Chains A and B, each alone.
Chain A
């Protein structure tokens, strides 16, 4: 079955450093992949979408890579700030309308 794996352990980094989160998937070839941010008790907020024919995408301090051979996406936040502390979800389109989500990685940025 299709599976998405994100680091279940929280990632703790110092303010100003680059945070790198990993999303691995198996048994599927998604047309695109998305990253969302979720704060406690809130709905996810869309951040970036990257398509299978794109290697990298950037938006302000965010960068996403997509390696369809490794079946992996990396999500980077440069010059991280305490306000970046949240859970980050990886999501794959599985064809048609359906999207499946990873469980997310919790990021803590210390001042």
Chain B
């Protein structure tokens, strides 16, 4: 149980284009989903927290107009990297917290497999 999918798993795009990444909780409902960015051999860096039906909360230093987050349903959140540039190349990972139940109640985040973005 507690499976999260991400699509696409890998994307290469040209500088200046926009890229959308989908995050779905497949077997649970997630009122809260998180978007992280990870650089090689570094910790996960939280970008934003999104709650279903409301605006995302962005971490300090993360441009909300550049990284658009939509959490339209209890099982789907999307991250759109607008006007992507080479410095946006990274590994993006989403996670969801179950609405209820699970091994550790609602305290544990379940992660997607990640999306490798390369901007040329």
Interface, chain A (partner B; CB < 8 A): 4, 32, 34, 36, 41-46, 49, 89, 93, 97-104
For B91, the closest partner residue in chain A by CB is: A41
Is there a chain A Cβ closer than 8 Å to B116's Cβ? yes
List the B side residues contacting A100 at CB < 8 Å.
46
For A87, the closest partner residue in chain B by CB is: B41
Q: How many A-B residue pairs have CB under 8 A?
A: 54
Is there a chain A Cβ closer than 8 Å to B49's Cβ? yes
List the A side residues contacting B111 at CB < 8 Å.
36, 43-46
B104 with A49: CB separation less than 8 A: yes
The 6 closest A-B pairs by CB, nearest first: A43-B111, A49-B104, A103-B43, A101-B44, A43-B114, A43-B93
A46 with B110: CB separation less than 8 A: yes
B107 with A46: CB separation less than 8 A: no
List the B side residues contacting A43 at CB < 8 Å.
4, 6, 93, 95, 111-114
Which of B108, B110, B111 gathers the greatest number of chain A CB atoms within 10 Å?
A: B108
